[in-house]
Structure 1
Amino acid sequence: MAEKSWADRTFQNLQENSMTFDVVFQRIISFMARNPRGNYRLMIGTDSQVHPQHTTFITGIVIQNKGKGAWACIRKTIVPRKMLALHEKISYETTLTEEVVSLFTEDRKNTMIDIVLPFIYNGATFSMEGHIDIGSGSRNRTSEFVNEMVARIESTGIEPKIKPDSFVASSYANKYTK
């Protein structure tokens, strides 16, 4: 069986399996349309776990309406080997996040912005964030990669977040890597 291209991989959550990205995007639009006056953060991040025969990568997408709930899903990627080099693993996590971010085309971003736009003077907001599972603390083994990975996320046009603010990668995606 041929390996699926990354754009063909499906997403899932506790309610639904095998969602295409088009379905995911419609779920996000529906969630936002329920309360167009909301404060929305679209957050995308990836975490990984090395297992004996493979490495599991989970990319999470979370649309949060601050103080009023969220909708989320994940996409799983399996690399059929133990990926032990830290830079390779962190770099691949960032690549998978970048790939999902790229699915949010300008037209799709504008569709999301158009939902809140009539209400921005009433406090409605929309932002996009790329969550990277790295920290800048001196005791953090990933700190030497912070500048590189932050620059990569910035180049996609969204706001990078690192620990402790990168909870989509370090908490939500992490729990599905086990």
Structure 2
Amino acid sequence: MRLISPTRGPLSLEQVVANIRRYIEEAPQATYKLVIGTDSQTDADKTVFVTAIIVQRVGRGARFFYARQVVPPIVDLRHRIYRETEISLRTLEALQRAGLSAIGADFPIEIHLDVGQQGETRMIIQEVVGWVQAVGYTAKIKPDAYGASAVADRFTK
């Protein structure tokens, strides 16, 4: 998986983990949070998935990285939301295999889901939130799911 840093350009997973480590070492006394969110956009030709990885220094800024994936069009909304959730969880697993857990920082991890009480996605909130919680992570939905609905969304177009 290749990720993009807006300031450093393309990076491998290992380079992203190294960047996260350096960011934490700059202010080790700060409180951190890791957010992963995926959003998608579908048109007649394709579906674009964008996953954002955000390391937030709570109250003092953040760093983020994103990955873009283009697949044949997925028009079924339920299928797309499930795929977004799956990509976010797989990205977290890949980060952990690339050394994230070796950093030693004990920060909360949130999976941001592009679902909310308004609109068509409200029917599957319990399903995807339950999935994320069942594997041990905190799930956030709109309007609190900025990782998916703001950061990742910006790069789907």
TM-score (norm 2): 0.92
Correspondence 1:146 to 2:125: yes
Q: 1:84 aligns with which of 69, 75, 82?
A: 75
Contact 1:102-1:156 at 8 Å conserved across structures: no
| Number of the residue aligned with 1:170 | 149
Q: How far 1:110 moved relative to its partner?
A: 5.0
Determine the C-alpha separation between the residues in 1 that align with 2:102 and 2:5: 25
Taking the TM superposition and a 5 Å limit, the aligned residue runs for 1:1-178 are 9-80=1-72, 82-105=73-96, 108-109=100-101, 111-113=103-105, 126-135=107-116, 137=117, 139-178=118-157
The code of the aligned residue for 2:76 comes to A
Write the distance in 2 (CA, Å) between the matches of 1:52 and 1:16. 33
Larger radius of gyration between Structure 1 and Structure 2: 1
- Which structure 2 residue ranges, 5 or more long, are not aligned? none
Q: Secondary structure at the match of 1:177?
A: coil
Runs of 4+, deviation exceeding 6 Å = none
**Relative to structure 2, which stretch is displaced further, 150-159 or 31-40?**
150-159
Q: Structure 1: any 5+ residue segments left out of the alignment?
A: 1-8, 115-125
In the alignment, residue 96 of structure 1 is paired with which amino acid? Answer: I
TM-score (norm 1): 0.82
